[in-house]
């Protein structure tokens, strides 16, 4: 019930997800961050489990392991990228004179991530229905891409609302957000590549990470494009 209440608060942008005025603000701030983090982990775990259920619905073996692996990996993906880019965000915020708003910006970013995770979990039944309708791996992969895109849009909407007063106070927040967003996406793409498989394809054994995992998403894409264009 508490998690559902937190989710509702995040979606309705309750005061505790955005403000920390008055006495004891620091303690409340830490508490609200922990609450948001637990919300991200819980809902991402739920969607991850559903994501990994593809093997089960396609009648493939070891589906329960894939569900567990995917359920673990989606929260790792969301929080990992955030924590890897946090030191850069902190130093650049300080350098751009935004340090006084640092707690507020981190909370806004957490709230947006929580919104993304909640939206993903809300889309989980739809994903299940599609898995039940088709056992095609490529279609399932594309469907999950779509779900993540929709959830990212929802996260963006929340982020914009939370950031509006901050940008009004200092327009430099917009530049900072853009810089951090670029760094976040840069890391998240590699992390997603590293953590694959999330679905588990037919011909391969279920494993937490692929054996060729120590590779780079960007290098693969760049070489694919190069070969496609220049042969």
Partner 1 sequence: MKRLAPFFRQRLAELDRLLRGDATQAEALEDNKLDVSAGGLLVIAMLLAAFYGLCMGSFSLLKEMPVELVDPYGPVKQVLASMIKTPALFLLTLLVTLPSLYVFNALVGSRLTLLGMTRLLVAAMSVNIAVLASLGAIVVFFSLTTKSYPFILLLNVAAFTVAGVLGMLFLLQTLHRMTKSEHREHPKAVAKPSIQMKSPIELTPLTSQEKSKSETTSSESTKGTLQTSALDMPQGQVLGGSTKVVFRCWIILFSLVGAQMGWVLRPFVGSPNMPFTFFRERDSNFFAAVVGALQQLFTGG
Neighbours of 101 (CB within 10 A): 18
Which residues contact residue 218 at a Cβ distance below 8 angstroms, ignoring those fewer than 6 apart?
189, 190
Decide whether 13 or 210 has the Cβ nearer to partner 1: 210
Binding test (CB under 8 A) with partner 1, winner from 11, 84, 150, 161: 84
Chain position carrying tokens 């992390």: 191
CB of 19 to partner 1, least distance (A): 19
Binding test (CB under 8 A) with partner 1, winner from 14, 92, 128, 167: 92
Crossing angle of the two packed helices 102-133 and 172-195, in degrees rounded to 10: 40
CB of 134 to partner 1, least distance (A): 32
- Give the residue from 208, 218, 177 showing the smallest Cα distance to 72: 208
CB of 191 to partner 1, least distance (A): 8
124 vs 126: CA distance, rounded Å: 5
Q: Does 126 bind partner 1 (CB under 8 A)?
A: no
User: Segment near partner 1 (CB under 8 A), from 24-32, 92-100, 137-145, 159-167?
Assistant: 92-100
Q: Does 222 bind partner 1 (CB under 8 A)?
A: yes
Which residues contact residue 61 at a Cβ distance below 8 angstroms, ignoring those fewer than 6 apart?
55, 206
Decide whether 15 or 215 has the Cβ nearer to partner 1: 215
Neighbours of 186 (CB within 10 A): 15
- Site residues (vs partner 1, CB under 8 A): 83-88, 90-92, 94-100, 169-170, 172, 183, 186-187, 190-191, 194, 213-216, 218-219, 222-223, 226
């Amino acid at each position: 019930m508490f998690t559902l209440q937190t989710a509702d608060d995040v979606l309705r942008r309750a005061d505790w997800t955005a403000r920390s005025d008055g006495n004891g603000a620091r303690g409340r701030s830490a508490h609200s961050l922990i609450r948001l983090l637990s919300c991200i982990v819980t809902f991402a775990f739920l969607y991850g489990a559903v994501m990994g259920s593809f093997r089960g619905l396609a009648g493939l073996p070891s589906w329960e392991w894939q569900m567990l692996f995917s359920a673990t990996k989606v929260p790792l993906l969301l929080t990992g990228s955030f924590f890897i880019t946090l030191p850069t965000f902190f130093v650049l915020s300080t350098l751009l004179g935004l340090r006084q708003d640092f707690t507020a910006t981190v909370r806004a970013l957490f709230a947006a991530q929580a919104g993304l995770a909640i939206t993903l979990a809300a889309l989980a039944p739809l994903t299940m229905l599609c898995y039940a309708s088709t056992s095609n791996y490529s279609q399932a992969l594309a469907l999950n891409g779509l779900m993540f895109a929709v959830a990212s849009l929802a996260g963006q909407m929340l982020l914009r609302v939370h950031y509006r007063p901050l940008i009004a106070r200092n327009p430099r927040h917009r530049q900072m957000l853009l810089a951090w967003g670029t760094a976040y996406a840069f890391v998240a793409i590699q992390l997603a590549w590293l953590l694959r498989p999330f679905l588990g394809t037919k011909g391969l054994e279920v494993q937490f990470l692929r054996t060729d995992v120590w590779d780079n998403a960007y290098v693969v894409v760049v070489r694919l494009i190069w070969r496609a264009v220049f042969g």
